[in-house]
């Protein structure tokens, strides 16, 4: 079995092993593959593994040997699943591997905004505290999370995990979810979306990207929020209209935003959020702890092994 990894560097820059895949066939790992290189590299593949390298309908139909695509992520929009189904190609994904890491990143952003630890560390390395006339100083409002209301949009694995952390901080948790109010954990209140944006001090996005959620955080919804409120997005970049968020931050419509995802990754240098006031951006790393990547690699290998043994799991092309 010929296995080709089209963009292995993102998952494994060298600190993990492809050994489990090598036990199932001949493995070739490419760090990155441009769209122009896909056809040549995939021509003899029985199995393709991809994270962000797109596999279009035309590409899938041009690869007669291909029988399996393993997406090295939860989201599988990089593969034309309908075309794969027509061609009899199995497509699997990796569900729920990064729940703890993504929820942790929500609060890394929230605490960065609330406390500005890195800012003060940098200032003190430059000697500012040593020169201070007072025993302390602060440059930004310091925010206590206890007692604040956190709104979670989407109450799946990561939303639920974020809710548990919020509760541990003493926050009140509201959730916009299709789940019934009776099925939510004790202390979590079900809310309508606009009510959540109007009432919550922190709004954290955890819903999937669909046609109904694309651009859901726009100028109108941002205008509903409190001027002291904080938006966190570790979900999908296109949930947010970036120009509208930049304008809201610069105008003081909301206080701050913590983002791990953007509409285009990597972003264009003129993306308005890169220079927006109180906008904290990390380069899509919520998923990338070593623990989460090891889990992803293990599940990806288990997915392929199950397919080889005739008991396909996590198949999204059904």
Q: Which tokens in the block code for residue 284?
A: 């899509």
Handedness of CA 59, 2, 312, 18 (dihedral sign): negative
Q: Does the pLDDT of residue 221 top 90, yes or no?
A: yes
- 119 is annotated as an active-site residue: no
pLDDT at 156 over 90: yes
Annotated catalytic residue within 116, 149, 236, 295: 236
Residue tagged active-site, from 61, 189, 243, 284: 284
**Fold: same for 2-96+290-308 and 99-281:** yes
Domain made up of 99-281: CATH architecture = 3-Layer(aba) Sandwich (3.40)
Nearest-angstrom CA–CA distance, 65 and 50: 17
2-96+290-308 belongs to CATH 3.10.580.10: no
Total-model pTM? 0.93
**pLDDT one-digit tens code per residue, 5-40:** 999 999 999 999 999 999 999 999 999 999 999 999
Q: Which of 22, 118, 192, 265 is catalytic?
A: 265
The 10s digit of each residue's pLDDT in 72-100 is: 999 899 999 999 999 999 999 999 999 99
**Tokens at residue 114, please?**
């609330």
pLDDT in tens, 36-68: 999 999 999 999 999 999 999 999 999 999 999
The C-alpha atoms of residue 139 and residue 192 are separated, in whole angstroms, by 36
Active site residue 265: yes
| Known active-site residue 118 | no
Domain boundaries, the chain: 2-96+290-308, 99-281
Buried b or exposed e, range 7-38, using 16+ CB within 10 angstroms: bbebbbeeeeebeebeeeeebebbeebeeeeb
Residue 318 has pLDDT above 90, yes or no: no
């Amino acid at each position: 079995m010929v296995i080709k990894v089209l963009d292995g560097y993102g998952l494994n820059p060298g600190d993990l092993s492809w050994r489990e895949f090598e036990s199932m066939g001949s493995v070739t790992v490419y760090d990155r593959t441009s769209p122009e290189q896909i056809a040549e590299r995939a021509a003899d593949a029985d199995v393709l593994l991809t994270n962000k390298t797109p596999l279009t309908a035309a590409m899938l139909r041009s690869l007669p040997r291909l029988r399996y695509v393993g997406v090295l992520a939860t989201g599988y929009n990089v593969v034309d699943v309908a075309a794969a189904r027509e061609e009899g190609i199995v497509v699997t994904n990796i569900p729920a591997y990064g729940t703890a890491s993504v929820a942790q990143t929500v609060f890394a952003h929230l605490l960065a905004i609330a406390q500005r630890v890195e800012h003060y560390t940098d200032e003190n390395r430059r000697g500012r505290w040593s020169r201070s006339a007072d025993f302390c100083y602060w440059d930004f409002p310091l925010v206590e999370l206890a007692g604040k209301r956190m709104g979670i949009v989407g109450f799946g694995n990561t939303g639920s995990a974020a809710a548990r952390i919020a509760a541990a901080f003493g926050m009140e948790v509201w959730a916009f979810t299709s789940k019934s109010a009776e099925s939510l954990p004790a202390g979590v209140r079900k809310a309508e979306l606009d009510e959540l944006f109007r009432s919550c001090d922190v709004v954290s996005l955890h819903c999937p990207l669909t046609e109904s959620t694309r651009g859901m955080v726009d100028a109108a919804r941002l205008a509903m929020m409190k001027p002291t409120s904080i938006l966190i997005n570790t979900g999908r970049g296109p949930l947010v209209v970036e120009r509208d968020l930049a304008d809201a931050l610069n105008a003081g419509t909301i206080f701050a935003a913590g983002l791990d995802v953007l509409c285009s990754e990597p972003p264009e240098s003129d993306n308005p959020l890169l220079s927006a006031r109180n906008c904290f951006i990390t380069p899509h790393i919520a998923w990338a702890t070593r623990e989460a990547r090891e889990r992803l690699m293990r599940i990806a290998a288990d997915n392929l092994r199950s397919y080889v043994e005739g008991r396909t799991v996590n198949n999204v092309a059904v």
